[in-house]
A and B are shown apart, each in its own frame.
Chain A
Amino acid sequence: MNSKILMVLGVFALITGCTTVSQGGYYWGDYSASYMELVKDPSPEMKERRRETLTDIINESKELELRVPPGIYAERGLLSIEQGDMAQGMADLSSEVETYPESKPFVERLVARFASEEE
C-alpha cells in the first residue's frame, strides 16, 4: 500500500522534474504539507511552524535565484502582524507588491482591513 503511494508520488516527482524546483520555476519547500497541518490544527504552534516554512521558502528561493512564489511574502506578513511584529509584517507586504505588482489592490485591501480593526 505505502509502496504504491510512494510509487505514485515518485512518478509525480518525475513528471514535475525531480528537483526541488517546480515546473513553474518556484521553490515551494513544505508549502502544502504545512498548510495541511495548519488546516487540521490552527494552533499558535502550527502557525509558528507555518511561518518557519514560509521563511525557508523565501530564503531558499533567494539562494536559488528564483522569484519567491505568489502569496508567500503576504502570508508571512500577515502572520507577523498577528504575532505583534507590525514592522516585519508591513515589510513583507511591501515585498509581495514589489515581486508581484498586480497584487497591489489585494495587499492594499488587507492593510485597510487592519487599519479598520485598529480603530
Chain B
Amino acid sequence: MRRIVLIVAVSLLGACATPVIETKKEAFPSFYDETPNPVTMVIVPAINRSTAADAGELISATLAQPFADNGYYVLPMPIVSQIFMLEGILDGSQTLNLPGSLFQSAFGAETVLYVTINEWETNYAVLAANVTVGLSYVLRSTSTDEVLWSYSARQVIDTTSDSSGFIIADIIATAIQTAVTDYLPIAYQVNSIAVATLPHGQYHPQYGLDGDSGVVLQDLKEGAVQELGQQ
C-alpha cells in the first residue's frame, strides 16, 4: 500500500510542477447553475485503445455501480450493451460521430458517457511487474452535445509476487502473475478516483452541496477531452 501511495505521489509531482486545482463548481459549472441537472446516463461500450481485447467488456461491467452511487440514474448496462450489439456496435469508438440527439431518441437518456481505455497493461522487469490501468471519461449532454464533465485517471500497482528466495521460481511467478482478476480491483480504484470529481446527482445526499470541494486537477479534466478527441 505504501508503494502505491509513493507511486501516486511521485507521478503527481513528476507530471505537473504547478498543478491547477479547481473546485467542482469552477470546473463543471453547468451542474451548479439554475438549469435543471441531468439525471439519466447511458454508458456506451468502452473505447478500447489498449492491446487487451477483452478489456472493453470487463471495464464496462465495472461502471454502472460507481456512477449510480454518485447519484445518477444509469441505464442498465447489460441491456444497453445488448442493444448496442444488435446495432453492430461493439466498441465505443463506433459511436463517436453519432449526434447526442440519437441517444436521446434511442434510449431516452439526457447524457452519454464515453470511457476510453488508454492503458491496460503489465510491465515486466526481471523480478518485478506492475499493472497500469489508465481510463478517461467524458460525459456529454444529449441535447446540446456540450461536455458536462471529464476526467482522466490512472493507477499503477506493483504486482510482484512475494519473493520465494529462488530466483527462477520468482521469475516464473512474476510472469504468470497478471490475470484478469488483477486488473479489476485497479479498475475500481481508477473509477473511484475519477468519480470523486463528478458533481453528485440528485439521488445522492450531497447533491448540490459539493460545489466548493476542490478536487479537480485541471490537467486531468482537459486531458480526458483531448484523449477522446484523438481517436
* Main DSSP-derived SS at the A contact region: helix
| Chain B residues, CB < 8 A from A35 | 61, 77-78
B105's nearest neighbour on chain A, judged by CB, is: A109
List residues 1-55 of chain A with CB under 8 A from any CB of chain B.
Answer: 1, 3-5, 7-9, 11-12, 15-16, 22-26, 28, 31-32, 35-36, 38-39, 50
Number of A-B contacts (CB under 8 A): 104
- Asked if B177 and A32 make an inter-chain contact with CB atoms under 8 angstroms apart, the answer reads no
Q: Offer 9 A-B interface pairs, CB within 8 angstroms, sorted by A.
A: A1-B159, A1-B161, A5-B185, A12-B185, A12-B189, A74-B76, A102-B110, A103-B75, A106-B75
Q: A-facing mask of B75-99, CB < 8 A → 1, else 0?
A: 1111100000000000000000000
Q: How large is the interface on B (under 10, 10 to 19, 20 to 34, 35 or more residues)?
A: 35 or more
Q: Which one of B57, B75, B108, B181 contacts A5 once the chains associate, using CB atoms below 8 Å?
A: B181
Shortest C-beta distance, A2 to chain B (Å), equals 9
- Chain B residues with a Cβ under 8 A of chain A: 1, 4, 39-40, 57-58, 60-62, 64-65, 68-79, 106-110, 157, 159, 161-162, 173, 177, 181-182, 184-186, 188-189, 192, 203-205
Tally of chain A residues near chain B (CB < 8 A): 41
- Asked if B108 and A109 make an inter-chain contact with CB atoms under 8 angstroms apart, the answer reads yes
- Chain A residues with a Cβ under 8 A of chain B: 1, 3-5, 7-9, 11-12, 15-16, 22-26, 28, 31-32, 35-36, 38-39, 50, 67, 69-72, 74-75, 78, 100, 102-106, 108-110
Given contacts A67-B203, A71-B74, 13 further A-B contacts (CB under 8 A): A1-B161, A1-B162, A12-B188, A25-B204, A32-B62, A36-B61, A38-B78, A39-B58, A70-B72, A75-B76, A102-B110, A108-B108, A109-B106
